[in-house]
């Protein structure tokens, strides 16, 4: 493996949310590469309780965007990954949601590994999860919206990351040694 | 950044659970490097609702091991990271638990970036979360156990990864295009 420790720490630290995108196509192979990273996420009992709607079509994007305060970002992003918990595959609510968290983090890291691409995790839309299910004709008993990841070619000129958002608690603030 | 796309996909694919460890010290700096990866995990509203007890002391390890079916692994691991949700920092249960999932995945990837080290995520112990809280004198209103990550120098001779565990659903099985 070529990847060494310090590279990886830097890689993980440099990842940040991107909310401004240029309209530029992202190839299907790139989208599959990003999802390939997600596929290898860990899950309790290896249950892999995930489902993804890959939204590129403008009409579907529009419908989705109307259900979020961040609709503008959803519309600007070339692709939105709409992530669901597959309730029938899950077996323990806490562990299933953790698995989805790991899955979504792998997507963000997978995007970060692609030159020029950026992404933002939109969580607020889960307040409208039933309406999102209607778009995809998903039954509420079977699929529960876990979030949307908007992905696009970053418009560096418009991109500003707030200091607040980049701030992280110091290790000493949340670690105890035994 | 030296890290390129294909390296990263391979890196993520090669990560797997390790359950057999050699007794060998892991330096404090290495443990801090691993936690540094976790620190950069995303969380809703950047709430960072995590707390970690880093357990190295044999007595504390023993107490922890008695609360898990996988006590042998906990005892063999040089260090166990006991991960809690900080309930007062959290703001939305689903998003908080997703953040913890992302945090724990970053730990697993951080371990994977360290030569010779391996880890396993033990989720089953959350069934005994109140008893784990007693070890650390944590109030159940303030901290909720989210899992333990056992970390050690991998004993490759004893390590066997089941095919079942490495198996992942194919992309076509959980993706729809719109």
Give A60's contacts in chain B (Cβ within 8 Å): 178
pLDDT tens-place string over residues A97-128: 999 999 999 999 999 999 999 999 999 999 99
Whether residue B7 and residue A13 make contact (CB cut-off 8 A), yes or no, is: no
Tens digit of each residue's pLDDT (9 = 90 or more) over B16-48: 999 999 999 999 999 999 999 999 999 999 999
Residue of B nearest to A135 (CA): B178
The pLDDT, as a whole number, for residue B1 is: 41
Q: Which two tokens stand for residue B118?
A: 């391996």
Distances (CA, A) of B49 to B59, B83, B151: 28, 10, 22
pLDDT-flagged residues of chain A (< 50)? 1-2
Long-range contacts for B62-71 (Cβ within 8 Å, ≥24 apart)? B63/B135, B64/B125, B64/B132, B64/B135, B64/B148, B67/B125, B67/B128, B67/B131, B67/B132, B68/B122, B68/B124, B68/B125, B68/B128, B68/B148, B69/B124, B70/B19, B70/B120, B70/B122, B70/B124, B70/B125, B70/B150
Nearest chain B alpha carbon to A165: B46
Flag whether residue A137 sits within 8 Å of chain B, measured between CB atoms.
no
Alpha-carbon gap: A79 to the closest alpha carbon of chain B (Å): 10
Q: Which residues of chain B have pLDDT under 70?
A: 1-6
Which of A32, A36, A42 is most worth mutating to test chain B (most B CB atoms within 10 A of its CB)?
A: A42
Nearest to A101 among B14, B102, B113 (CB): B102
Instruction: Using a pLDDT cut of 70, give the percent of chain A over it.
Output: 97
What does the DSSP assignment read for B78-134? SEEEEEEEETTT-S-HHHHHHHHHHHHHHHHHHHHTSTTEEEEEE-GGGGGHHHHHH
In total, the C-beta contacts within 8 angstroms joining chain A to chain B are 204
Neighbouring-strand partners of residue B120: B150
Query: What per-residue confidence (pLDDT) applies to A160?
Result: 84
A-contacting residues in B 51-90 (Cβ below 8 Å):
51-57, 60, 86
Candidates 3.40.50.970, 3.50.50.60, 3.40.109.10, 3.40.250.10; correct CATH number of B23-155? 3.40.109.10
At residue A164, the pLDDT reads: 80
Please tell me the CATH superfamily of domain A18-155, with its number: NADH Oxidase (3.40.109.10)
Residue spans of the domains in chain B: they are 23-155
The pLDDT value recorded for residue A161 is 73
């Amino acid at each position: 493996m070529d990847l060494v420790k310090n590279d990886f720490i830097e890689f993980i630290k440099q990842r940040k949310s991107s909310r401004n995108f240029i309209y530029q196509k992202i190839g299907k192979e790139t989208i599959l590469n990003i999802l390939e990273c997600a596929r290898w996420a860990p899950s309790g009992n290896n249950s892999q309780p995930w489902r993804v709607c890959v939204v590129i079509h403008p009409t579907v994007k529009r419908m989705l965007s109307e259900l979020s305060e961040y609709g503008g970002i959803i519309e600007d992003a070339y692709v939105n990954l709409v992530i669901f918990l597959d309730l029938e595959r899950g077996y323990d609510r806490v562990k299933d949601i953790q698995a989805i968290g790991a899955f979504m983090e792998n997507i963000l890291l997978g995007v970060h590994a692609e030159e020029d691409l950026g992404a933002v995790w939109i969580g607020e839309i889960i307040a409208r999860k039933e309406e999102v299910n209607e778009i995809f004709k998903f039954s509420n008993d079977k699929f529960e919206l876990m979030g949307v990841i908007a992905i696009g070619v970053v418009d560096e000129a418009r991109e500003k990351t707030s200091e607040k958002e980049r701030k992280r608690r110091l290790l000493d603030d949340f670690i105890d040694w035994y």
